[in-house]
Structure 1
């Protein structure tokens, strides 16, 4: 039997895709044509000598529900020594990260699309707003407001006021109130830079599994430019505008309560900026986390004056 070391990363990527497809479908008996329809072209030799046999052995196993990719790898390359199997495991971890990056990229594209559509809508007419408020106590309208898990959080937080209700049930052709140009610019920049950063990371990860990689390597740049005074000041102003109680933190409720952003984007920002351990709330992010995130995805560095401070947001107050 051919050793696993003779398999290329691109072949292992194909095997990984086939395994994930069969596991999600809970069906291990699959033809070459069906597999290609699900994951794309598959080399006939790889299929006949490796994948078909590994799939047959998996289908014959009694506990197919609990089969792991590691077990599938051993069937795929039976007789392989420990060393190549360890190499295979390392590649599998990279592939799992690649799948995660693809999922995150789709979420970012959806968030940017929702944001772009939201800020292009006209403001809700006063007559329509009045009509919606008259239905505030309606059970049917409450169900509309709770139509998605994210919207339902506004009720569960105990802070669903009249303005929050209007935002939750606002017709999709309108936005609940007039927007703020600088907020829209900064949030739009965040979403765009976040997407570009993820696309770059995904491209680098996918390059590891390309059959024939280019010999021309791009020299990495180790010297990033400092953040511009204009961008830095704008980030601070927007954060302070949204931070209505001056706690140096933004939560989902604060962002949604501003009615300047779609609820889904508020949720996206909390999930993708917070959780870094830089003092942010459980359901949001701190000022330091926000500034650090903008610096990271903007591929820039803090100014020297900022580095002299213990905290990025401490420097922000002196900017």
Structure 2
């Protein structure tokens, strides 16, 4: 198959590109700059110039491909609602090229959107509005496409997608611990972060494209249902040789800043149905084992 991938040079998207190429697929990777185009070509894929705000380019690439995987996202938390609305428009543009076809579209989302703390499953749907939780717009856009018969599936990722080259939440915690001179958790630190290795996530995406699924299907890209936040803080503290301390909810903002909301995140997520449906078995190191290695603590 020829597969169009947005976010093709990103942490998750680049792993998916490699997985698809190894499986013998041709990959068309979205590239918004000369440097990104060069990176896509170096990976063995075909660059497609455009960006997430270029609807015509997105429609053209989706129309020219047998399948589409949308992992691109503008990671600008200073205008979060705006970029979530951009993501909605991206999904609408991709879907417009796929109405009336059986060509699959996989869209990246998150497992915390349903708003439950324990036992989030593939059957759960978001209960918040986009005004209250802007990222919900992604799944609502997918549901609108599914109602039109578009073969869309949602890849729900956990807060932590780990592996070498990670520049997400865990590196942020490491940087915070360095700056504050302590690795902290909130309360007893038993709030849970689901996790998956980027290579296991890439395998799941390939498997999801390889078999039919009902429009609107949610896939949980979750290898570990929930890792205690305190355990993450302890590895970071030991590696940096700084104290591991508890902060009260009232003290959390002073230590974590804007990240306090994420440090308090508590969500156990199941991938049981996804594993059974796709035959997916994660094989990469778990989060704590992966974190407890030099690459996460190298200062470049």
Asked if these proteins are the same fold (TM beyond 0.5), I'd say no
Q: TM-score by structure 1 length?
A: 0.29
The structure richer in strand per residue is: 2
Q: Which has the larger radius of gyration?
A: 1
